[in-house]
């Protein structure tokens, strides 16, 4: 009887986690970003200590997680059974990342998927890295964002030390922007025009630890374009499936 009850409870828990996994993971990233940032804004900065620079990298990774969560919301996979909640989470996570505006990002991202690596793709540019990044930034960075960031920067100085704000609030957001561009746009789409590549997208070699650290598995980019309904935390499974299929040929 006890064994049966345990199995039933385990099944219920598994079903709950499966149904609400996207929301749970999104909230985990949100809480981690907020709590770590709060801690670091109060932290005594020591420019000699390597922990200071490790903290910057941790915040960069969490900022990237915010944007990846907003990206998944654009595909409706954060809260697939609740469109309104999915939009709220996407809007919140995008906004916390340097005041990105979700309703502006949403149509541009789907335009990217419909017209990948063409003149109609807002994420694509045929030039070198710097020209491409400049074109990318023009598409997504607005004067309103800059003004809001400047206002928040001055407001935060009322409560927190200047070096903490710069190191742990500003710098990680800038670094995460480069990280997302490099691993999520530039590397996957540069020079990929082979007719047999229907998604005009490359993919990282299979290394799940590096794929997670570099961009939340978003370097598995062909897999994302092939199955955009998969959340970021399922892309490694699709990578395994595709690589396994190649090995059996």
User: Is residue 35 within 8 Å of residue 147, measured between CB atoms?
Assistant: no
pTM of the model: 0.88
Rounded Cα gap, residues 108 and 120, in angstroms: 10
DSSP letters along 222-234, please?
HHHHH-TTS-GGG
Within 8 A by CB and 6+ apart from 170, the residues are 149, 153
Q: For 47, which DSSP code?
A: T
Total residue length of the chain:
249
What pLDDT tens digit does each residue of the chain (249 aa) get?
454 554 555 555 555 566 788 899 999 999 999 999 999 999 999 899 999 999 999 999 999 999 999 999 999 999 888 899 999 999 999 999 989 999 999 999 988 998 888 888 888 887 788 889 888 888 888 888 999 999 999 999 999 999 999 999 999 999 999 999 999 899 888 876 666 778 888 888 999 999 999 999 999 999 999 898 999 999 999 998 887 766 555
Question: For residue 219, what is the enclosing H or E element?
Answer: none
Within 8 A by CB and 6+ apart from 224, the residues are 201, 218, 230, 235
Q: For 20, which DSSP code?
A: T
Q: Count up the domains in the chain and report the number.
A: 1
Question: For residue 192, what is the enclosing H or E element?
Answer: none
- Domain that residue 68 falls in: 2-247
Q: Where are the alpha helices (DSSP H) in 75-218?
A: 83-96, 102-114, 129-140, 143-156, 162-165, 171-181, 187-189, 208-215
């Amino acid at each position: 009887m006890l064994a049966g009850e345990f199995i039933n409870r385990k099944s219920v828990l598994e079903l709950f986690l499966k149904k609400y996994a996207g929301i749970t993971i999104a909230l985990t990233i949100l809480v981690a970003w907020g709590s770590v940032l709060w801690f670091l804004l109060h932290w005594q900065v020591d420019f000699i200590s390597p922990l200071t620079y490790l903290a910057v990298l941790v915040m960069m990774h969490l900022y990237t997680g915010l944007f990846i969560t907003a990206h998944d919301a654009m595909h409706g996979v954060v809260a697939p059974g609740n469109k309104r909640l999915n939009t709220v989470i996407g809007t919140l996570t995008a906004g916390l990342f340097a005041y990105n505006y979700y309703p502006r990002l949403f149509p541009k991202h789907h335009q990217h998927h419909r017209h990948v690596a063409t003149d109609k793709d807002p994420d694509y540019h045929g030039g070198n890295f710097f020209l491409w990044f400049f074109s990318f930034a023009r598409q997504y960075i607005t004067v309103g964002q800059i003004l809001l960031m400047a206002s928040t920067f001055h407001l935060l100085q009322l409560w927190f030390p200047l070096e903490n704000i710069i190191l742990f609030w500003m710098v990680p957001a800038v670094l995460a922007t480069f990280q997302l561009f490099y691993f999520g746009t530039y590397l996957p789409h540069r020079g990929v025009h082979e007719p047999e590549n229907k998604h005009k997208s490359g993919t990282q070699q299979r290394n799940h630890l590096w794929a997670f650290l570099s961009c939340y598995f978003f370097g598995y980019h062909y897999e994302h374009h092939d199955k955009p309904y998969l959340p970021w935390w399922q892309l490694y499974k699709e990578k395994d499936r595709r690589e396994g299929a190649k090995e059996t040929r």
